[in-house]
Chains A and B, each alone.
Chain A
Amino acid sequence: MSIDLKQDFFGLFGLPRAFAIDEAKLDQAWHELQARVHPDRHAHLSDAEKRASMQWATRVNEGYRTLRKPLPRAQYLLELAGVDAGLETNTAMSPAFLMEQMEWREAVEEARQAGDVDALESLHVRLRTHSKEVMAGLGHALDDKADFDAAADTVRRLMFIEKLQHEIDDALEALET
């Protein structure tokens, strides 16, 4: 009973602290924890228990959100390693990458202006593939080489890509309503 409850999310879900993750195990641990702390399990108990349940359930969900998707998981690993990825401010990206981004962006803008849903859908798919390619390097940098600077650079690239992905989604959403 000496398990530390202040431990990081990996510990909370019983997973090793690494970028490569056993998704089935994460899901299972999430369900297992929520089965204990979810507000529905404490609805018939006192207000004090309800409050404690809400706080824990919120934390468990935050942990799940953080670990489930590769980008937030990588960001969290960098944070645990004490590396400031300077995500919002550091825009010192390679010119080649920035050029590529501009091309993507132009393509999205063109499709949006033309109201071309098919083009946007296909950009969405292509970007997802591209994102997976960039992501592949991340596991290597984080788990094998512990090269956090390289990982931080990749994370910044992925954030650009994700932002673009959201823009495509928003454009699709706007065209459909």
Chain B
Amino acid sequence: MALLQIAEPGMSTEPHQHRLAVGIDLGTTNSLVATVRNSIAVCLADDTGRAMLPSIVRYRADGSVDVGLAAAKAQATDPKNTIVSVKRFMGRGLKDVAHVETMPYDFEDSPGMVRLRTIQGVKSPVEVSAEILRALRERAEASLGGTLTGAVITVPAYFDEAQRQATKDAARLAGLEVLRLLNEPTAAAVAYGLDNAAEGVYAVYDLGGGTFDLSILKLTRGVFEVLSTNGDAALGGDDFDHRLFCWMLDQAAIDPPSSEDGRRLQIKAREAKELLTSCEEAPIHVKLGSGEVVDLVVTRDQFAEMTRHLVQKTLGPVRKALRDAGLAPEDIKGVVMVGGATRMPHIQRAVAEYFGQEPLTNLDPDKVVALGAAMQANALVGNRAADEDDWLLLDVIPLSLGLETMGGLVEKVVPRNATLPIARAQEFTTFKDGQTAMAFHVVQGERELVADCRSLARFELRGIPPMVAGAARIRVTFQVDADGLLSVSAREMSSGVEASVLVKPSYGLSDDEIAGMLKAGVERAEDDMLARALREQQVEADRVIEATEQALASDGHLLDAGERAQIDAAIDTLRKLRDGKDHRALKTGIETLARETDEFAARRMDNSIRAALAGQKIDEIQV
């Protein structure tokens, strides 16, 4: 009944326990999937040997979908249905997206998130991203020979709640179990830190295709503690291409180009940028739809000059992150460069100048994030052998969370750069006599005015017993989990009236929408989705049974005979369901076992804390 897994030399001594887990770098320009094999993280390549999957999705008239290179080839001929850099639209409204005027898409502005009209109907950025993730999942399952237990998906550290939630929804839609959303610079730090046994304070400068992050991390004996993070979720290599593209239009006096010509010129701009990394100048030769030919040469200096303001723009977040960490540039031991865009020589120069040292470029800046994510995925599913590296990530929330108060001002509840998970409560009161309801508006951002922050959700607490103004005590609690995702609850303290909200509906997709998309997927999919659902639940059941049995083996003494019998019975029931065909009954069985073990889990955790405290006591005596 256990998953069959061929044991390879050097693999874990208990191959039947090896679970298939991957790290996915869902990038603006390229995406990758990686896994840990024989204790080494490797990127998984497609059948032509390519690891990088261009993050491009094409919806075709016949109802099929191309992802990656096949889609990339149609960029110039079918721009409207070929979506590039979709990450820029995740969790964003039309007004938030830069350069829409030069984009060939047919946008539909809908509340919360922009959508795209394609030949296959209106698509949300979540659905487009799910196509990329699905392609990577299929690649991984084919390469590893089994259903994945789970995946770590990376997101820019500076992604806000809406963008994180959208990413998680896309993964769900692609049939992935998300073990964790991991910040890209943190993933890179793990890969770098473990490879180099690094200790001290490091900065990770991560300039991707469409996002910029700067994280400051303290590495001490296997603990990766993020001290601060800052960035710009709408600044990346794409913007450098765009500058060059505008320069080309200007030089060739084209105004405005057709959608097709626009794409051709954009592709050439990117190629020229990449060429300038190794050459002093790059020729640009484009044949337009009209037959007219654009013939230009751009030099490295010209390119550096026209994009200098973009390089400068990355230094603002660098300064802020250092200030938040209470550090100066000279306190940084090393600067790790991440993202293909950091190959540009003038960026490396600017970073070297700011920090007064040459940045570290010994890891492939395109792959380091996926590799770090794979290492973390491997650890999260419990594959890590006892003698292997042991590490812990302590990450932070990038942007403050707050509530709207009188006069459109923001009252901050969770400050930025707080270590996750975190819970913070704030008390409010009624301002009118007999007031029985109170409305809350949850926002994210650093500015004082609600209008300048991102609106996340609105909810109401009703049923407050009528009292004089100022007498009610309403406690609002924000809980942010390890993925950086928020849930909010409100409670009137004297009556116990409660309201809670998963911060989701006002921008993201509702559960109904996701269900609808999944259903549409079933109708389209060739393989049997029911069989897949059953397989997924079986993997989950195996995992839960194994975890519970391990817990019983090591801590069974924390239970009395009656409690033990109840848990054993729940395991037996789940075993029987596991060999059946009903995935819904199986899911219920898994939930029942989880409920039955609630108290046991709490006792185990308390016991573990006691052991830690006892350890501290021993240290004290020894000192």
Contacts and interface: CB of A to CB of B under 8 A. Distances in A.
Interface string A22-34: 0000010101111
Nearest to A56: B605
Interface stretch (A35-43, A90-98, A99-107, A140-148): A35-43
B interface SS class: helix
Interface stretch (A45-53, A79-87, A151-159): A45-53
Interface in B255-269: none
Contacts of A48: 594-595, 597-598, 600-602
Contact of B551 (A32, A45, A176): A45
A40 B482 contact: yes
B392 A31 contact: yes
Contacts of B418: 61, 65
A59 to B, nearest CB: 8
B220 A31 contact: yes
Contact of B380 (A11, A36, A43): A43
Nearest to A2: B610
A12 interface: yes
B610 A5 contact: yes
Contact of A32 (B448, B548, B615): B615
B223 interface: yes
A44 B594 contact: no
B423 A62 contact: yes
A52 B616 contact: no
Nearest to B483: A39
B590 to A, nearest CB: 8
Contacts of A45: 382, 547, 551, 601
Given A40-B180, A43-B179, A34 B394 contact: yes
A46 B601 contact: yes
A1 interface: yes
Given A5-B610, A37-B608, A56-B609, A64 B419 contact: yes
A46 B593 contact: yes
A118 interface: no
B610 A49 contact: no
A44 B18 CA distance: 12
B379 to A, nearest CB: 7
B234 interface: no
Interface string B571-598: 0000000000000000000010111011
Interface residues of B, number: 61
Nearest to B420: A61
B608 A46 contact: no
B392 A177 contact: no
A58 interface: yes
A59 B615 CA distance: 19
A54 interface: yes
B392 A40 contact: yes
Interface in A89-140: none
B378 to A, nearest CB: 10
Nearest to A169: B323
A161 to B, nearest CB: 16
B392 A49 contact: no
Contacts, number: 135
Contacts of A3: 610, 613-614
A44 B422 CA distance: 21
Given A32-B616, A176-B316, A51 B601 contact: yes
A53 to B, nearest CB: 6
B353 to A, nearest CB: 19
Contacts of B543: 44
Contacts of A47: 591, 594
Contacts of A149: none
B78 interface: no
A49 B381 contact: no
A80 B601 CA distance: 30
A169 B595 CA distance: 47
Nearest to A121: B323
A4 B334 CA distance: 42
A29 to B, nearest CB: 6
A141 B188 CA distance: 46
Q: Which of A52, A64, A177 has the most CB of B within 10 A?
A: A52
A56 B422 CA distance: 10
B108 interface: no
A21 interface: no
A164 interface: no
A170 interface: yes
A61 B479 CA distance: 12
A39 B296 CA distance: 55
A46 B547 contact: yes
B382 A12 contact: no
Contacts of B548: 46
Contacts of B221: 31
Contacts of B316: 176-177
A5 B609 contact: yes
B147 to A, nearest CB: 15
Contact of B604 (A43, A49, A169): A49
Contact of A62 (B422, B606, B615, B620): B422
A34 B392 contact: yes
Nearest to B21: A44
Contact of B601 (A5, A33, A49): A49
B319 interface: yes
A3 to B, nearest CB: 5
A53 B423 contact: no
B575 to A, nearest CB: 15
B617 A14 contact: yes
Contacts of B612: 32-33, 36
Contacts of A35: 223, 392
A29 B613 CA distance: 9
B320 A173 contact: yes
B325 interface: no
A65 B420 CA distance: 11
A46 B597 contact: yes
Contacts of A62: 422-423
Given A5-B609, A27-B220, 15 more contacts: A1-B607, A3-B613, A5-B606, A11-B613, A34-B392, A37-B609, A40-B393, A41-B392, A43-B179, A43-B381, A44-B543, A45-B382, A56-B609, A172-B323, A173-B320
Interface of A: 1, 3, 5, 11-14, 27, 29, 31-41, 43-49, 51-54, 56-58, 61-62, 64-65, 169-170, 172-174, 176-177
19 contacts: A13-B616, A14-B617, A31-B225, A32-B616, A39-B482, A43-B380, A44-B381, A44-B543, A48-B598, A49-B547, A49-B604, A51-B598, A52-B604, A54-B481, A57-B421, A58-B479, A65-B418, A172-B323, A176-B316
Closest 4 CB pairs of A and B: A14-B616, A44-B382, A48-B601, A43-B380
